[in-house]
């Protein structure tokens, strides 16, 4: 069995397909685009000192906390939501932990808000958008990623109701999920 495994590893290496954890670069000469700090700003002591120079910032924890549903109200979130609210009078904002949480939290609420929604999603939307659509139990169709005309062909009736993009994801260009209400 060990020789079978070694043979497989050797085959992967020969095909340049063997994955290994990359060695770190202590001089920081390489940008790491797989992290949230790919520009190295959080690790820069100058930025840390400047941030800590303001008294209000010294109260901000340096670690992520548990979900707000478990760890209670966290002032940093409430403050940012209030700031966002000020840009949209008459509306309330809600910060979510990630795009995944937004997609699986908001999309399932659509059937409660709209009569028999139909969600049209291009083939390149992020998997978490599909997860949210499936959780919604709404009717949905997928269309090739070319033009908005393809999305209209998927609809059994002319698109009515909110037809602005409700979610987007893609590495290089916006892929879109559209939501429309069914005719009444």
Q: Which two tokens stand for residue 88?
A: 């949209």
Domain assignments of the chain as residue spans, ordered by start: 99-181
Residue 28 confidence (pLDDT): 60
CA pair distance 152, 144, nearest whole angstrom: 11
pLDDT higher for 59 or 83? 83
How deeply is 7 buried, as exposed, middle or buried, from its count of CB atoms within 10 A (0-12, 13-18, 19+)? exposed
pLDDT higher for 160 or 113? 113
C-alpha distances (whole Å) from 25 to each of 15, 29, 158 are 26, 7, 55
Q: How confident is the model at residue 170 (pLDDT cuts 50, 70, 90)?
A: very low
For the chain, list the strands marked E by DSSP.
117-122, 139-143, 167-168, 176-181
Residue 163: partners with Cβ closer than 8 Å, 6 or more residues away: 178, 179, 180
Q: Which long-range contacts (CB under 8 A, 24 or more apart) does 164-172 make?
A: 166/106, 166/107, 166/119, 167/102, 167/103, 167/106, 167/107, 167/125, 167/126, 167/129, 167/132, 168/125, 169/99, 169/124, 169/125, 169/126, 169/128, 169/129, 170/124, 170/125, 170/126
| CB-CB contact of 179 with 114 (8 Å) | yes
pLDDT higher for 183 or 98? 98
CA pair distance 9, 105, nearest whole angstrom: 41
* pLDDT tens-digit series, residues 6-40: 888 899 999 988 877 666 666 666 666 666 676 77
Q: pTM here? A: 0.50
Q: How confident is the model at residue 161 (pLDDT cuts 50, 70, 90)?
A: very low
Residue 59 confidence (pLDDT): 75
* pLDDT tens-digit series, residues 133-153: 999 999 888 888 765 555 566
CA pair distance 157, 180, nearest whole angstrom: 10
| Relative orientation angle of helices 99-106 and 127-136, to the nearest 10 degrees | 20
């Amino acid at each position: 069995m060990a020789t079978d495994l070694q043979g497989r590893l050797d085959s992967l290496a020969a095909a340049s397909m063997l994955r290994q954890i990359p060695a770190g670069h202590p001089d920081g000469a390489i940008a790491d685009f797989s992290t949230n700090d790919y520009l190295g700003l959080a690790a820069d002591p100058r930025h840390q000192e400047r941030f800590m120079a303001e008294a209000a910032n010294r109260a901000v924890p340096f670690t992520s906390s548990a979900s707000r549903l478990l760890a209670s109200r966290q002032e940093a979130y409430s403050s940012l939501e209030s700031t966002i609210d000020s840009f949209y009078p008459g509306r309330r904002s809600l910060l979510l932990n990630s795009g995944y949480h937004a997609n699986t939290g908001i999309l399932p609420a659509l059937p409660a808000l709209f009569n028999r929604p139909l969600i049209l999603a291009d083939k390149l939307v992020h998997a978490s958008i599909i997860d949210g659509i499936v959780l919604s139990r709404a009717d949905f169709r997928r269309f090739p990623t070319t033009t908005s005309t393809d999305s209209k062909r998927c609809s059994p009736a002319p698109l009515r109701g909110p037809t602005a993009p409700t979610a987007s994801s893609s590495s290089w260009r916006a892929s879109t999920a559209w939501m429309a209400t069914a005719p009444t």
